[in-house]
Amino acid sequence: MKKIYFDNAATTEISKKVISEMMKAMKVNYGNPSSTHSHGRNSKAILELSRKTIAEKFNVNPKEIIFTSGGTESNNMIIKAVVTAQNIERIISTKIEHKAVLNSIESIAKERDIKILFLDVDEFGLPNKQQLIEYLENSNKKTLVSLMHINNETGTMIDLEEFGKICKSNNSLFHSDTVQTIGHYNIDLHKINIDFITCSAHKFHGPKGVGFAYIKNGQTVKPFIEGGAQE
């Protein structure tokens, strides 16, 4: 009996081309990218080419792309590190975000004693825009807004550009969990007012344990894990 796979929203089959490139890297380009010898320089060149390729896809500077182990790490890093580094006093989100976002918000809120506000959502899972505007206009607290682009359970998609404009007009930071989006929709980050997005490669035929975070130039983020300068 032939099996048919219908769970691509959860994870995808890794591409044969990706496997080939990964095997080549493990067999040939295995040097430490931080090393100055030829093996290290070769690995560094491949790493930075990957970063440049991703940056061009989103119309941003390569320095704004930070490699991570995936969506969970990226969301944790952004929410916790941004709140700490920029003294965020309030987070606005919804109760239907991914657990990587909700649990990160709950965790940092306990540590920093910051206020959490959840927007109402309609029958389709779309956040209440007017409520967001009211929350932002009625307070001068430094705020991080976190709203996922496409919901991993309902498939509902918000208008990033519209919510980005609302955040910008009220001097608030905007983070979006775009794990379900990347690889399926084009996002021009140069045109959208958004400060942080997250990505996980296994959602679009890449390997598990690989992802990236986009951190807009000028945004301050403290290291999530202490160590050297490596990602």
Q: Where are the alpha helices (DSSP H) in the chain?
A: 16-27, 38-58, 71-85, 99-112, 129-137, 160-169
Residues whose CB is less than 8 angstroms from the CB of residue 115 and which lie 6 or more positions away in sequence, other chains included: 89, 90, 91, 109, 141
> Which tens digits make up the pLDDT trace of 200-229?
999 999 999 999 999 999 998 877 788 887
Give the pLDDT of residue 224: 75
**What pLDDT is stored for residue 191 in this prediction?**
93
- The reported pLDDT for the residue numbered 10 is 94
Q: Which two tokens stand for residue 57?
A: 């896809």
Q: Please write the tens of the pLDDT for every residue from 28-61.
A: 999 999 999 999 999 999 999 999 999 999 999 9
Please tell me whether residue 154 adopts helix, strand or coil conformation. Answer: coil
- The DSSP call for residue 52 is H
What pLDDT score was predicted for residue 162?
A: 98
Amino acid 222: pLDDT:
78
Nearest to 206 by CA among 1, 6, 8: 8
Return mean pLDDT, the chain: 95
- DSSP letters, 134-150, are HHHHT--S-EEEE--SB
- 8 Å CB contact between 127 and 156: no
Rounded to whole angstroms, the Cα distance separating 31 from 111 reads 39
pLDDT, tens digit, for every residue of 55-87?
Answer: 999 999 999 999 999 999 999 999 999 999 999
pLDDT tens track for 136-150: 999 999 999 999 999
pLDDT-derived band at 16, boundaries 50, 70, 90 = very high
Count of beta carbons in the 10 Å neighbourhood of residue 216: 16
Average pLDDT over residues 87-116: 96
Compute CA 37 distance to the chain's CA centroid, rounded to the nearest angstrom: 33
- Structural domains in the chain plus CATH codes: 13-58 (no CATH), 62-215 (3.40.640.10)
* pLDDT at residue 104 tops 90: yes
| pTM of the predicted model as reported, rounded to 2 decimal places | 0.94
Strands 90-93 and 115-118 turn out to be parallel
Residue-level pLDDT at 36:
94
What's the pLDDT score for residue 229? 77
Q: Which of 226, 222, 210 is nearest to 88 (CA)?
A: 222
The phi, psi pair for 87, rounded to 5°, reads 50, 50
pLDDT of 126? 97
Confirm if 156 and 183 have CB atoms less than 8 A apart: no
